[in-house]
């Protein structure tokens, strides 16, 4: 796939997230992939996942803990099979009611139009402070 096509696929994933369309996100995954959304142990959705059902649980864990107030992608940087999205995530802890702002970078690796790798880099301290 071209760099432009890979960037379009990643943009489609973020659009699907905004609609709550997890099925479209799961459809974008290759048969074998690694999903790394790591962070502080207090972040319930911060785990490595390798199956579609584990990724589905990622969205359930995120939704159970946080009300997503805003997720914005400011930039996409694409080269070959790698697409990096840079953005911000604003949320509210469902337990404490505290809000947080989280700048992030998410790196996506694609092969033949499917996601083979995902890794998130973010300020988990801001999230943990809101969750506690």
10-33 per-position pLDDT tens digit: 999 999 999 999 999 999 999 999
**Using CA atoms, how far apart are residues 110 and 127, in angstroms rounded to an integer?**
28
Total domains present in the chain? 1
Quick one: pLDDT at residue 1?
Answer: 82
Q: What share of the chain is helix, strand, coil (3-state, %, to 5)?
A: 35, 45, 20
Structural domain boundaries enclosing 98: 3-131
| pLDDT tier at 75, thresholds 50, 70, 90 | very high
Question: pTM for this one?
Answer: 0.92
Tell me whether strands 82-93 and 29-36 are parallel, antiparallel or unpaired.
unpaired
Average pLDDT over residues 34-62: 91
Please, which pLDDT band fits residue 105 given cuts at 50, 70 and 90? very high
The average pLDDT across 39-58 equals 90
CATH code, 55: 3.10.450.50
pLDDT on residue 39: 76
């Amino acid at each position: 796939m071209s760099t432009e096509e890979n960037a379009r696929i990643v943009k489609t994933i973020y659009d699907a997230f905004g609609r709550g369309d997890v099925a479209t996100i799961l459809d974008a995954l290759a048969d074998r992939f690694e999903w790394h959304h790591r962070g502080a142990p207090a972040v319930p959705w911060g785990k490595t996942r390798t199956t579609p059902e584990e990724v589905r649980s990622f969205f359930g864990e995120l939704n159970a803990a946080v009300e997503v107030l805003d997720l914005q992608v400011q930039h996409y940087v694409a080269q070959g099979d790698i697409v990096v999205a840079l953005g911000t995530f604003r949320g509210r802890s469902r337990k404490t009611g505290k809000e947080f702002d989280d700048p992030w970078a998410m790196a996506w690796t694609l092969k033949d139009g499917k996601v083979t790798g995902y890794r998130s880099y973010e300020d988990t301290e801001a999230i943990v402070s809101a969750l506690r």
